[in-house]
């Protein structure tokens, strides 16, 4: 098994004829993802790579293909509209890769999705991959391997580093999820931790957080109360100066609540094994499995 995606994923690529959409759609097809349709307004009737039909609207794509997931590669000013369109078409799982979506747009998107029962991953995220089953987004498939370690991360590049460490040491992954680092995101740590806890194919969980906000502290409390599987974690930004934004829009320290030290202390209090550097992930997991 896996979480959120798998062999039964039927994927639409919104923005499939654009530069980023076409590049990553080809990568997903080569990985074996069930890409069943693309959407670019005004280009309906074309095909992508000679086998994926392109539609003018998401609704038309869903009617024709029975798609149950979508991934969005459109410019920031159009991304909220693309999310609305996917939800209106009845797609239950929406992945938005786009970076730079205005926060005000996301404050309107989230209640709209809740009303329609749709899950959003992102925005400003690398997507997710269930190795050997499906890849939705931009996580490189060649560094992943099927296995029983679940991973959830706010940082895209650190996701790749930790996954590479796991794979090199024979620790395959059930699903790797990049939730994104914007102030407002659709799927948080707790949602992923809950899914991994319920997944019989996941034996242990890796969390990668970063400075800013209190999501990691809330997740640590949830782990202590609800997770019975081993959990190890890393916090990026351990040397960041207070008041300075580091990378993601959500990665800014305010007072003491968003510091790496405070988050690492919360992890330790919850029984989460704390990495001082990503290379320690294998040693910590082996000690707990």
Q: 169 and 70 in one domain?
A: no
The answer to whether residues 191 and 268 belong to one domain is yes
Same domain flag for 143 and 107:
no
Phi, psi (5° rounding) for residue 107?
Answer: -65, -25
Q: Assess if residue 68 is contained within a domain.
A: yes
Which of 91, 186, 184, 173 minimizes the C-alpha distance to 135? 173
Q: How far is CA 98 from CA 71, 80, 108, 157, in A?
A: 10, 10, 17, 16
Do both 68 and 146 map to the same domain?
Answer: no
Convert the pLDDT of each residue in 92-118 to its tens digit: 999 999 999 999 999 999 999 999 999
Predicted pLDDT at 57: 98
User: Do residues 90 and 145 both lie within one domain?
Assistant: no
Please say if the pLDDT value at position 172 is more than 80: yes
Task: Categorize the per-residue pLDDT at 251 as very low, low, confident or very high, splitting at 50, 70 and 90.
Answer: very low
Q: Is the pLDDT of residue 247 over 90?
A: no
* Co-location of 279 and 160 in the same domain: yes
Q: Residue 35's domain is classified under what CATH number?
A: 3.40.50.720
Residues 221 and 114 in one domain: no
Residues 6+ apart with CB under 8 A from 145: 131, 132, 166, 167, 172, 173
Give me the residue label for tokens 């899950």.
119
Q: Could you tell me if 117 and 225 lie in one domain?
A: no
pLDDT average, residue stretch 52-69: 98
**This prediction's pTM:** 0.94
| pLDDT above 90 for 193 | yes
Query: End of a domain among 58, 92, 121?
Result: 121
Is the residue at 38 inside a domain?
A: yes
Same domain, 113 and 155: no
Is 233 a domain residue? yes
Do 104 and 156 sit in the same domain of this protein?
A: no
Mean pLDDT of 152-157: 90
For residues 39 and 60, what is the distance between their CA atoms, to the nearest angstrom? Answer: 9
Strand 146-153 and strand 119-121: the pairing is: unpaired
Instruction: Compute the radius of gyration of the chain from its Cα atoms.
Output: 18
> 219 is in which domain, residue-wise?
139-288
Two tokens, residue 201: 């194919």
What tokens appear for 207 in the block? 């969390």
At 170, the pLDDT band (50, 70, 90 cuts) reads very high
What confidence score (pLDDT) does residue 41 get?
A: 97
| Local structure of 10: helix, strand or coil | coil
Residue positions annotated with a catalytic role: 248
Of 65, 89, 121, at which residue does a domain stop? 121
Q: What average pLDDT does the segment 154-175 reach?
A: 94
Query: What is the pLDDT at residue 258?
Result: 77
Question: CA 123, CA 67: separation in Å to the nearest integer?
Answer: 20
The predicted structure's pLDDT at residue 246: 53
Domain contains 127? no
pLDDT at 8 over 90: yes
State the pLDDT confidence band at 259, using cuts at 50, 70 and 90.
Answer: confident
Contact 137, 126 (CB under 8 A): yes
Residue 24 lies in a domain: yes
- Residue 3 lies inside a defined structural domain of this protein: no
Question: How many structural domains are present in the chain?
Answer: 2
Is 128 a domain residue?
A: no
Same domain, 80 and 210: no
Of 121, 156, 173, the position where a domain reaches its end is: 121
User: Does residue 282 belong to any structural domain of this protein?
Assistant: yes
164 and 279 share one domain: yes
∠ CA 100-104-106 to the nearest 5 degrees? 70
Q: For all residues of the chain together, what is the average pLDDT?
A: 93
With cut-offs at 50, 70 and 90, classify the pLDDT of residue 63.
very high
């Amino acid at each position: 098994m896996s979480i959120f995606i798998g062999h039964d994923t039927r994927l639409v690529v919104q923005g499939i004829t654009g530069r980023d959409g076409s590049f990553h759609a080809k990568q997903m097809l080569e990985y074996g993802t069930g890409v069943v349709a693309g959407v670019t307004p005004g280009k309906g009737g074309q095909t992508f790579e000679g086998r994926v039909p392109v539609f003018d609207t998401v609704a038309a794509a869903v009617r024709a293909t029975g798609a149950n997931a979508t991934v969005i590669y459109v410019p920031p000013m159009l991304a909220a509209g693309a999310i609305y369109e996917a939800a209106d078409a009845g797609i239950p799982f929406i992945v938005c890769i786009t970076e730079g979506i205005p926060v005000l747009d996301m404050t309107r998107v989230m209640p709209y999705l809740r009303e329609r029962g749709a899950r959003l991953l992102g925005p400003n995220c690398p997507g997710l991959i269930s190795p050997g089953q499906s890849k939705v987004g931009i996580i490189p498939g060649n560094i992943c391997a099927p296995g029983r370690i679940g991973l959830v991360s706010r940082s895209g590049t650190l996701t790749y580093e930790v996954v590479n460490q796991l794979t090199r040491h024979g620790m395959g992954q059930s699903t790797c999820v990049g939730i994104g680092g914007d102030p407002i995101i659709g799927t948080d740590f707790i949602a992923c931790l809950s899914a991994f806890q319920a997944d019989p194919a996941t034996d242990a969980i890796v969390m990668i957080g970063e400075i800013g906000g209190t999501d990691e502290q809330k997740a640590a409390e949830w782990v202590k109360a609800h997770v019975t599987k081993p959990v190890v974690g890393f916090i990026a930004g351990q040397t960041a100066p207070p008041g300075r934004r580091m990378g993601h829009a959500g990665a800014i320290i305010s007072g003491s609540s968003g510091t790496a030290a405070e988050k690492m202390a919360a992890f330790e209090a919850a029984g989460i094994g704390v990495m001082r550097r990503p290379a320690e992930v294998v040693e910590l997991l082996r000690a707990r499995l």
